[in-house]
């Protein structure tokens, strides 16, 4: 009997006969329908010229049943058997209100398969994973363990992301006609260039329009996503870990658990998918919710780089406290021999030439100012020029028979080696015990290349060891918060977020580049997780110059930080930063608790995104002119997700440090100071923005005034 699960706005019908379970419908909510009728309505006839029984797009599609797309499981035993398993249900599924668990086996291949799928009411996010067990008495070499979901034929356009260092979440839009779109990541981290996420939708889907299905694989190692249209017309998305040859060999009786695959459906555009993903993350244990406001950070990296001097750092902390910063993060450069990026990684004790009395005096100074103290680590790495490497060259995640290439002058430590793991855990733990450190910026700055543990491909075991290390530190230090950084946003996924509370979105603090980077980031992650810093006037990665008004308007929307040497700033600039921080704190509950809304625009020279409070009584939208425009006057802004039946007052929220002008005259409503309109009017009539200079922004503050 088919069965059905319901979210708030979505339903999912699963068919399960004898063979492996398959989703036959996933879309619009169907509260009044019977799953058997839905399955019957969609049952497929057999065409000429193919096998007589069409193999379903099962959750784990089977080559052995005649599925000619990408099989969900790929593996083999040493004698060549079990290469195309066919599962049968071994017992009835366990069905709950919001989940189902299927149990399958293949007695011939000697494999058991368990699949769980959740669709929790009020969330609209499907979460699935599987467990494969080797029940035979020989090893099973596994090359793939992926999950698949079908997509309707009308989902014929794809949005996913490419990117690079300082250019995360670069959107890539393409028509999806015949064949497959494949996204394979082999970097050993979730990567800048092959983010494990994909959105497929009806032609021309955008933020507020079109049906869209979104996917994300919650995994911080290698991944493989395939979106394929088969010759018989069916489409599906498949995602799982990318496994190298020999990487997983299941011993008799051994099991492997796949990463979670997440999906969300929206009948009306991408925005709703993002909000579903954000609600899901916000509902998870440990997510920094309203009771744990995100402290404004000062990060020392772009302020002093490796040039650590106690008095300078103390003065920087003083300045930080004056402008309202709440957490001071000492970045790279504090540990033994770390004067540049050629040495020191692995030697996690304080450099006594820079800090003769250890970090205690600085930590005391910072905490004495009422700020939290945070410290940078890059625990998975080692420089060849380090005491650790000189003592233990064998701890590197590499094949000793080959020369391992360096990346940023460093090698990867094999955390699945218990000695290396204990060494790292103990060194971090010692510092956390000795000093009042409440925060770690956990960095990871190079790709895995030929990553070898115990003679086999080792990215999977490394990723699991990393999770365990983070979990163990969390158990030992329950109040500790950790930020996930990987050369900026090279490790961003739902699984790392079980252990971390912030993502360093990008090493690029250029406010112009950040417009797009943050927009892409927000497709999956809510703003309270998005590290966003006000850098110096001149961006250190692009050399572009921006006024504080623009830098502030962009960083304001995330987890705000400052990464600028405030000792170089003028009194007036520091006063402006203080004002910005104050405004951010005032709006923090809205910014970090509201619904993210990205607006569509025909005008490629502008970008608008913001947040609307849950009860739709307040909203803030950042409107940015990112380029010179073809037309001299910009289009009205059409807001979204407001309550059409409420009245709102809209005005400009003045951010400090804005230079530039608003054209020769401004729209009437700006001269009046504000305008009062219904939500319906704000969404359908829109609001005329002023003429802005390129690379500048302003904030619209919208407040309900009807007292409902």
Give the CA-trace dihedral at 519, 510, 444, 324, to 10 degrees: -90
> Helix 511-521 and helix 548-555: axis angle, to 10°?
10
Contacting residue, 106, 247, 326, 331, with ligand GLA by CB under 6 A: 331
Binding residues for ligand GLA restricted to 369-428, rule: CB under 6 A: 376
The single residue of 443, 447, 493, 510 carrying the catalytic annotation is: 443
507 is catalytic: yes
The single residue of 507, 510, 547, 643 carrying the catalytic annotation is: 507
Runs of H (alpha helix) within 323-458: 360-368, 387-391, 418-434
Q: Which is nearer to ligand GLA, 273 or 511 (CB)?
A: 511
Stretch that binds ligand GLA, among 75-83, 237-245, 484-492, 640-648 (CB under 6 A): 484-492
Task: Look up residue 217 and give its two tokens.
Answer: 């694989």
522 is an interface residue for ligand GLA by CB under 6 A:
no
Alpha-carbon distance of 191 to 430, in angstroms, equals 30
Look up residue 70 and give its DSSP letter.
-
445 is an interface residue for ligand GLA by CB under 6 A:
yes
Binding residues for ligand GLA restricted to 485-514, rule: CB under 6 A: 485, 487-488, 504, 507
615 is catalytic: no
**Under a CB-based contact definition with an 8 Å cutoff, are residues 98 and 119 in contact?**
yes
Site string for ligand GLA, 294-313 (x = CB under 6 A): -------x------------
Alpha-carbon distance of 353 to 22, in angstroms, equals 63
657 is an interface residue for ligand GLA by CB under 6 A:
no
Stretch that binds ligand GLA, among 10-18, 360-368, 387-395, 481-489 (CB under 6 A): 481-489
Stretch that binds ligand GLA, among 201-209, 246-254, 446-454, 480-488 (CB under 6 A): 480-488
Q: How far is the CB of 295 from ligand GLA (least distance, A)?
A: 18
Q: Which is nearer to ligand GLA, 102 or 376 (CB)?
A: 376
Alpha-carbon distance of 283 to 304, in angstroms, equals 38
Geometric angle at alpha carbon 591, from 587 and 592, rounded to 5°: 120
681 C-beta neighbours (distance < 10 Å), count: 17
Spell out the residues 6+ positions from residue 681 whose beta carbon is closer than 8 angstroms to its own.
none
Q: How far is the CB of 486 from ligand GLA (least distance, A)?
A: 7
**Under a CB-based contact definition with an 8 Å cutoff, are residues 279 and 530 in contact?**
no
Q: Which is nearer to ligand GLA, 20 or 489 (CB)?
A: 489
326 is an interface residue for ligand GLA by CB under 6 A:
no
Q: Which is nearer to ligand GLA, 60 or 375 (CB)?
A: 375
- How many CA atoms are closer than 13 Å to the CA of 124, on its beta-carbon side? 21
Q: How far is the CB of 339 from ligand GLA (least distance, A)?
A: 12
- In order, the DSSP letters of 1-66 are --EEEE-SSEEEEEE-SSS--EEEEEEE--TT--HHHHHHHTPPPPPTTS-SSPPP--SS--GGGT
Q: How far is the CB of 508 from ligand GLA (least distance, A)?
A: 10
270 three-state secondary structure = helix
Q: φ and ψ at 656, to 5 degrees? A: -70, 155
Q: How far is the CB of 352 from ligand GLA (least distance, A)?
A: 20
Q: Which is nearer to ligand GLA, 83 or 165 (CB)?
A: 165
Contacting residue, 112, 332, 595, 618, with ligand GLA by CB under 6 A: 332
Q: How far is the CB of 299 from ligand GLA (least distance, A)?
A: 7
579 is an interface residue for ligand GLA by CB under 6 A:
no
Q: How far is the CB of 121 from ligand GLA (least distance, A)?
A: 39
**Under a CB-based contact definition with an 8 Å cutoff, are residues 651 and 624 in contact?**
no
Nearest to 613 by CA among 570, 646, 637: 646
Spell out the residues 6+ positions from residue 527 whose beta carbon is closer than 8 angstroms to its own.
557, 558, 559, 591, 592, 596, 611
Q: Which is nearer to ligand GLA, 331 or 695 (CB)?
A: 331
Q: Which is nearer to ligand GLA, 424 or 444 (CB)?
A: 444
Q: Which is nearer to ligand GLA, 158 or 330 (CB)?
A: 330
Alpha-carbon distance of 336 to 346, in angstroms, equals 9
**Under a CB-based contact definition with an 8 Å cutoff, are residues 681 and 606 in contact?**
no
Question: What residues make contact with ligand GLA under the rule CB under 6 A?
Answer: 301, 331-332, 376, 443, 445, 485, 487-488, 504, 507
- Which active-site residues does the annotation give? 443, 507
């Amino acid at each position: 009997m088919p069965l059905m699960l319901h979210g708030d706005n979505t339903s999912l019908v699963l068919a399960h006969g004898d063979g492996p379970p398959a989703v036959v419908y996933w879309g619009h909510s169907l509260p009044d329908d019977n799953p058997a009728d839905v399955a019957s309505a969609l049952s497929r006839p057999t065409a000429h010229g193919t096998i007589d029984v069409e193999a379903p797009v099962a959750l784990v599609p089977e080559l052995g049943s005649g599925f000619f797309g990408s099989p969900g499981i790929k593996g083999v035993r040493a004698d060549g058997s079990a290469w195309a398993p066919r599962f049968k249900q071994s017992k009835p599924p366990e069905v709950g209100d919001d989940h189902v668990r299927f149990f399958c086996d293949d007695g011939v291949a000697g494999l058991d398969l368990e699949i769980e799928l959740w669709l929790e009411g009020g969330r609209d996010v499907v979460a699935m994973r599987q467990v494969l067990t080797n029940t035979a008495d020989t090893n099973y070499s596994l090359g793939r363990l992926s999950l698949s979901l079908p997509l309707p034929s009308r989902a014929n356009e794809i949005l996913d992301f490419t990117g690079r260092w300082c250019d995360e979440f670069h959107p890539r839009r393409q028509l999806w006609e015949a064949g497959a779109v494949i996204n394979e990541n082999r970097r050993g981290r979730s990567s800048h260039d092959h983010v494990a996420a994909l959105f497929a939708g009806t032609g021309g889907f955008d933020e507020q329009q079109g049906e869209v299905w979104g996917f994300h694989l919650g995994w911080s190692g290698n991944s493989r996503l395939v979106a394929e249209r088969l010759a018989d017309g069916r489409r599906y998305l498949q995602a799982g870990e990318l496994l190298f040859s020999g990487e997983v060999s299941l011993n008799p009786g051994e099991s492997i658990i796949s990463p979670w695959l997440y999906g969300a459906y929206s009948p009306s555009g991408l925005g709703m998918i993002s909000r579903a993903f954000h609600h899901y993350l916000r509902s998870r244990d440990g997510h920094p919710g309203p009771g744990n406001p995100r402290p404004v950070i000062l990060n020392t990296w772009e302020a002093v780089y490796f040039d650590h001097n106690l008095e300078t750092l103390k003065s920087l902390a003083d300045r930080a406290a004056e402008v309202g910063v709440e957490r001071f993060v000492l970045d790279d450069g504090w540990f033994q021999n770390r004067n540049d990026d050629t040495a020191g990684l692995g030697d996690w004790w304080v450099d006594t030439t820079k800090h003769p009395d250890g970090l205690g005096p600085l930590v005391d100074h910072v905490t004495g100012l009422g700020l939290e103290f945070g410290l940078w680590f890059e625990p998975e790495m080692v420089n060849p020029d380090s005491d650790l490497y000189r003592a233990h060259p064998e701890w590197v995640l590499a094949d000793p028979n080959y020369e391992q290439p360096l990346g940023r002058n460093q090698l990867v430590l094999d955390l699945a080696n218990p000695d290396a793991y204990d060494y790292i855990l103990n060194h971090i733990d010692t510092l956390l015990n000795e000093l009042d450190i409440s925060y770690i910026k956990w960095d990871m700055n190079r790709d895995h290349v030929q990553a070898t543990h115990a003679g086999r491909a080792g990215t999977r075991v490394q990723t699991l060891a990393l999770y365990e290390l983070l979990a163990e530190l969390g158990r030992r230090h329950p109040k500790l918060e950790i930020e996930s950084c990987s050369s900026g946003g090279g490790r961003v996924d739902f699984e790392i977020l079980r252990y971390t509370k912030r993502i360093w979105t990008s090493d690029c603090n250029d406010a112009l580049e950040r417009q797009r980077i943050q927009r892409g980031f927000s497709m999956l992650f809510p703003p309270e997780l998005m590290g966003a810093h006000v850098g110096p006037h001149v961006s250190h990665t692009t050399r572009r110059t921006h006024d504080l008004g623009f830098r502030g308007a962009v960083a304001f929307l995330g987890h705000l930080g400052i990464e600028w040497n405030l000792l170089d700033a003028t009194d007036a600039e520091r006063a402006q930063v203080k004002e910005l921080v104050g405004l951010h704190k005032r709006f923090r509950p809205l910014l970090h608790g509201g619904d993210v809304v990205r607006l569509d625009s025909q005008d490629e020279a502008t970008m608008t995104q913001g947040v609307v409070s849950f009860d739709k009584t307040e909203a803030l939208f950042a409107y940015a002119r990112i380029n010179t425009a073809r037309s001299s006057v910009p289009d009205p802004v059409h807001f979204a997700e407001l309550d059409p039946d409420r009245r709102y007052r809209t005005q400009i929220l003045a951010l400090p440090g804005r230079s530039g002008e608003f054209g020769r005259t401004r729209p009437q409503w700006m001269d009046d100071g504000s305008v009062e309109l219904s939500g319906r009017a704000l969404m359908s009539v829109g609001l005329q923005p002023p003429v802005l200079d390129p690379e500048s922004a302003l904030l619209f503050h919208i407040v309900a005034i009807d007292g409902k």
